[in-house]
Structure 1
Amino acid sequence: MQDVQSRTDKRGIAIQHVGVKNVHLPFLIKTKEGGFQSVLARIRFTVELPEEYKGTHMSRFLEILMPWSQKPLAEPELEAMLREALKRLDAQAAEVEIAFKYFIGKRAPVSARESLLDYDCCFTGRMRRGEPLCFTLGVEVPFTSLCPCSREISDYGAHNQRSLCRVHVRFHAGEECIYIEDLAALVEQKGSAPIYPLLKRADEKYVTEEAYDHPKFVEDILRDVVLALRDLPGIAHFSVACENFESIHNHNAYASHEETVSP
């Protein structure tokens, strides 16, 4: 049968990203404990298309992805996946983004009741022929924040809200990336108080008072996260976006920052 995708295109436009998006597959994500967690992943998988080619071979992306859905996945596996894409699709550059819900066990502070908290995470891998893998880990971490101004001016109480910090980190080539569990814990500590799926009355009292004792603006949280990320060994680049879902406004408080860290 004729291979229409491989026909010559004369418009002189190379396409930076072409491939498949919103592919849903089960994947196994490596855990800090050495096992794996089964997740449902949403995938975007693309390659760079030279200007002389009319199109790429979409089916080959799925052929590459399918076998990996049965193997525990982390940075080395993404590298192997991208190398296969460069070879099979005759491309100079390839990129894959795998987004998924990841669950981490939480123990309530007083009752010690166990529960699972879900985190939105993503692995992003980029590779160009002859160059090392560029791997980025992304995690969205929820926590509680309490307004310092509200606490200062009120005779009793202070308004607080659920907050979300979106962090993406990349490490220098040859350096091991941080585990999801460790990155989530590092960011969570910078809020006013952690969030727990399951709380009894004694736990709720503890968390409420913990937040009251650690008031923070969105700017405070962002700066504290930035300082913590700068201290990570081997980190090359990071971005942070903090958002407070305000309880006394119909808008959110927001702050973001990114920087490259020298070796």
Structure 2
Amino acid sequence: IDEVLEDAINRPVYVIEELCGEIAKRLLARHEYATRAEVKMKSEYIVRRQTPFTRATCQEVVDIFAEAVARAGPAGYLRKTVGAEVMGMTACPCAQEIMKEQAKSELLKAGLSEDAALDLLTRLPMATHNQRGRGSISIEVRDRRCVSIDRIINIIEESMSSKVYGLLKRPDEALVVSRAHSNPRFVEDCVRTMAQKTVEAFCDLPDDAAVTLKQINEESIHQHNAFAERTATMGELRAELASLKV
């Protein structure tokens, strides 16, 4: 096993799912008694970022992973999967609606008309509790198709209320908080958005390609975390999304 790994990584690696697939095939070739080989790989991926207001350059570390399963024999196959797990933040829509009703009541008591109160509440980000979210997407890759890790990372980040950053000045913090509270999402909303964006971004993948979408929200006011997951083929996701547009 060590020899196979050393030989495989002596050359530059550009696509980690291809590396896993190559190692799985070589393991089967070296072990004639084996009929199945499974290889998993995890790595840290550096992403360059600019903070949203001051545009300061920073680097973020994202966890990426790949997997390959090879089977020997007449019915042999090679299945490869690639994905990423990304941190973000979400703002709770339920608590925000409760706070909005309380704020509306206080504004009416202060003498504002109902229209003026509603207009003010629409303009200002309303308080709610936040969660640190961990979203992940894994996509099955067939043949020599390449699934962009950067695209997967962008989809996960855009599916939450806001991105998070390692470096933020005060104006950046204000903008991140404002964006998150203007875009509240439940954990299941994040998974639904991932599904929609994955179908749009990877239109070249076959209908039988498997996709797994997960979101974990680490709650700030509850003792439990919130979790949502969807496992489906690309064809199933396309059909479900098409039915929603009818």
TM, length-normalised to structure 2: 0.77
Query: What is the CA–CA distance in structure 2 between the aligned matches of 1:223 and 1:229, rounded to whole Å?
Result: 10
Q: Which residue of 2 aligns with 1:100?
A: 43
The alpha-carbon deviation at position 212 of structure 1 amounts to 0.9
Q: Which residue of 2 aligns with 1:82?
A: 24
Query: What is the CA–CA distance in structure 2 between the aligned matches of 1:77 and 1:191, rounded to whole Å?
Result: 31
Q: Which residue of 2 aligns with 1:246?
A: 219
What are the superposed Cα offsets for residues 2-56 of structure 1, whole Å, 9 maximum, x if unpaired? xxxxxxxxxxxxxxxxxxxxxxxxxxxxxxxxxxxxxxxxxxxxxxxxxxxxxxx
Query: What is the CA–CA distance in structure 2 between the aligned matches of 1:132 and 1:238, rounded to whole Å?
Result: 18
- Looking at both structures, which has the greater relative contact order when contacts are Cα pairs under 8 Å and sequence separation is at least 6? 2
Q: Which residue of 1 aligns with 2:185?
A: 216
Q: Which residue of 2 aligns with 1:207?
A: 176
More strand by share: 1
Task: Give aligned-pair identity as a percent.
Answer: 29
Query: What is the CA–CA distance in structure 2 between the aligned matches of 1:106 and 1:72, rounded to whole Å?
Result: 25
Query: What is the CA–CA distance in structure 2 between the aligned matches of 1:241 and 1:79, rounded to whole Å?
Result: 24
Query: What is the CA–CA distance in structure 2 between the aligned matches of 1:70 and 1:168, rounded to whole Å?
Result: 26
Query: What is the CA–CA distance in structure 1 between the aligned matches of 2:180 and 2:139, rounded to whole Å?
Result: 27
Q: Which residue of 1 aligns with 2:194?
A: 225
Query: What value does the CA root-mean-square deviation take over the aligned residues?
Result: 1.8
Asked if the contact 1:170/1:177 (under 8 Å) is kept, the reply is no
Asked if the contact 1:104/1:117 (under 8 Å) is kept, the reply is yes
1:229 aligns to what SS in structure 2? helix
The alpha-carbon deviation at position 187 of structure 1 amounts to 1.3
Q: Which residue of 2 aligns with 1:258?
A: 231
Partner AA of 2:225 in structure 1? N
Query: What is the CA–CA distance in structure 2 between the aligned matches of 1:108 and 1:240, rounded to whole Å?
Result: 27
Q: Which residue of 1 aligns with 2:243?
A: none
Q: Which residue of 2 aligns with 1:67?
A: 7
Query: What is the CA–CA distance in structure 1 between the aligned matches of 2:58 and 2:11, rounded to whole Å?
Result: 26
The alpha-carbon deviation at position 132 of structure 1 amounts to 4.1
2:55 aligns to what SS in structure 1? coil
Q: Which residue of 2 aligns with 1:149?
A: 94
